[in-house]
């Protein structure tokens, strides 16, 4: 088997794993939310809490990932997480009990962390060891494909299947995705050298750099979570665009699918930090456009813009983690995701509280946009810190 064919199989394993753990186990909840509110009696506050439980599971998984150094153990937990993603999806359709739903969402969050962090770390480690570019754009296209695929599936199934049957359908699709996600990812190599014999060596950033990056990434988490969780429900309740929420979510996924590859090329040209600053600025527009007084066109453009930037931010940050820590990329990825994950618990809970008091989710979007603006300021500060530290990995010229 040629090296390039093997590389594409490994990357494809990552794509299918992300479609499973994020597209199905995690993000299918977003287009199904209005249907569950209509047919299963799910309330506004309860919907927000279910999202918060999901992110709590993701945060817990990130904590575990940050503490594990053994590649073999990471590989086992990754594979277990793939199976758990399918089971937790099926459980959502088996009951109307909020407690069971909350447990299922929490466990689904754990599985998301296994695919997003452990799986991504294993794939990045494989790429580095086999002397390929340490870029994750192709791999992270699985997130956008998962979002778009779930939105398209809900659109096709609604009218034929009820909310419960749609959860079961997603579980069945997940069973099919399990096969390449498990079979095409090779067992990890625990040696400290690449295939060509080059020694792998970590180049950690300064403590100040890490602190500022974690604050900026926390702000990005707030900016991301409100839109990704509530955008369908928000758009469906806006005048002149009611009923188009799933279409907006579909375009968000389609915008995300190729975006990471574009941001990889951008980072090569200007450096990861400058690319992050640009992505953060564009994401502010993507968050606000759906509630801008301009109707469906503004909502659709905002969806593409948001999808094309939120996943770019995640990809760039996790790629940086791999370059700083090539021998144990999931360790820094886990720490970064702890920051991102805390935001993903706070964001839905605060948005749900605001929605109950004010009668809509719109205020949550303004909060998310403000958090992104603050995060952009921290990224600009981080660029100065990076230049001061003299670390050439993250900073470029623009």
- Structure confidence at residue 397 (pLDDT): 41
Query: Taking 80 as the threshold, does the pLDDT of residue 36 lie above it?
Result: yes
Cβ atoms < 10 Å from Cβ of 349: 18
Sign of CA dihedral 297, 301, 302, 307: positive
CA-nearest of 19, 15, 12, 121 to 61 is 121
pLDDT at position 27: 83
389 pLDDT more than 50:
yes
Q: Domains, the chain, ranges and CATH?
A: 3-184+202-389 (1.20.1250.20)
- For 82-113, write each residue's pLDDT tens digit: 999 999 999 999 999 999 999 999 999 999 98
pLDDT (tens digit, 9 = 90+) per residue, 365-386? 888 999 999 999 999 999 989 8
pLDDT, position 179: 95
pLDDT at 12: 93
Which pLDDT tens digit goes with each residue over 122-140? Answer: 898 888 888 777 677 788 8
- Inform me whether the pLDDT recorded for 178 exceeds 90: yes
At 40-64, the pLDDT tens digits run: 988 888 888 898 898 889 888 888 8
pLDDT at 318 over 90: no
Predicted TM-score (pTM) of the model is 0.79
Predicted local confidence at residue 52, as pLDDT: 81
Cα(311)–Cα(223) distance, rounded to whole angstroms?
12
- How high is the mean pLDDT of the chain? 85
Q: 93-125 burial by CB neighbour count: b if 16+ within 10 A, else e?
A: beeeebeebbebbbbbbbbbbbbbbbbbbbbbb
Please give the structure tokens belonging to residue 324. Answer: 């700083």
What's residue 398's pLDDT?
39
State mean pLDDT over 157-181.
94
Tens-place pLDDT, residues 209-221? 999 999 999 999 9
Model confidence over 188-246: pLDDT tens digits?
876 666 666 566 677 788 889 999 999 999 999 998 888 877 777 777 777 666 677 77
pLDDT per residue over 288-315, tens digit each? 887 776 677 887 888 889 988 988 898 8
By the 8 A CB rule, do 374 and 251 touch? Answer: no
Q: What is the pLDDT of residue 293?
A: 66
| pLDDT, position 155 | 87
């Amino acid at each position: 088997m040629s090296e390039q064919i093997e590389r594409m199989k490994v990357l494809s394993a990552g794509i299918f794993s992300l479609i499973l753990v994020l597209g199905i186990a995690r993000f299918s909840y977003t287009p199904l939310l209005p249907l569950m509110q209509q047919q299963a009696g799910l309330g506004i506050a309860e919907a927000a809490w279910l999202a918060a439980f999901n992110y709590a599971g993701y945060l817990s998984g990130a904590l575990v990932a940050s503490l594990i150094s053994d590649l073999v153990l990471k590989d086992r937990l990754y594979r277990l997480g793939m199976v758990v993603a399918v089971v937790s999806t099926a459980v959502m359709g088996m009951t109307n009990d909020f407690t069971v739903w909350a447990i299922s969402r929490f466990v689904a969050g754990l599985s998301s962390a296994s695919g997003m962090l452990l799986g991504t770390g294993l794939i990045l480690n494989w790429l580095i060891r086999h002397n390929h570019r340490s870029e994750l754009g192709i791999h992270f296209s699985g997130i956008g494909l998962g979002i778009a695929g779930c939105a398209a599936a809900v659109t096709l199934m609604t009218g034929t299947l009820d909310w419960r049957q749609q959860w079961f359908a997603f579980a069945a699709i997940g069973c099919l995705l399990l096969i390449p996600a498990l079979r095409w990812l090779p067992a990890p190599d625990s040696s400290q050298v690449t295939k060509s014999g080059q020694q792998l060596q970590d180049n950690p950033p300064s403590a100040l750099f890490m602190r500022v990056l974690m604050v900026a990434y926390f702000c990005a988490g707030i900016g991301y979570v409100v839109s990704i969780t509530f955008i369908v429900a928000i758009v469906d309740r806006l005048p002149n665009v009611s009923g188009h929420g799933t279409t907006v979510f579909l375009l968000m996924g389609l915008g995300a699918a190729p975006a990471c590859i574009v941001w990889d090329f951008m980072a090569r040209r200007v450096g990861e930090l400058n690319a992050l600053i640009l992505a953060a600025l564009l994401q502010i527009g993507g968050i606000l456009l759906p509630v801008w007084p301009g109707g469906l066109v503004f909502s659709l453009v905002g969806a593409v813009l948001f999808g094309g930037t939120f996943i770019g931010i995640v990809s760039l940050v996790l790629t940086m983690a791999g370059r700083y820590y090539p021998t144990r990329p999931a360790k820094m990825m886990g720490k970064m995701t702890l920051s991102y994950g805390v935001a993903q618990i706070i964001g839905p809970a605060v948005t749900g509280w605001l929605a109950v008091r004010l009668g809509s989710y719109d205020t949550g979007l303004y909060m998310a946009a403000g958090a992104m603006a603050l995060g952009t300021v921290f990224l600009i500060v981080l660029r100065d810190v990076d230049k001061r530290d003299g670390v050439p990995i993250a900073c470029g010229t623009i």
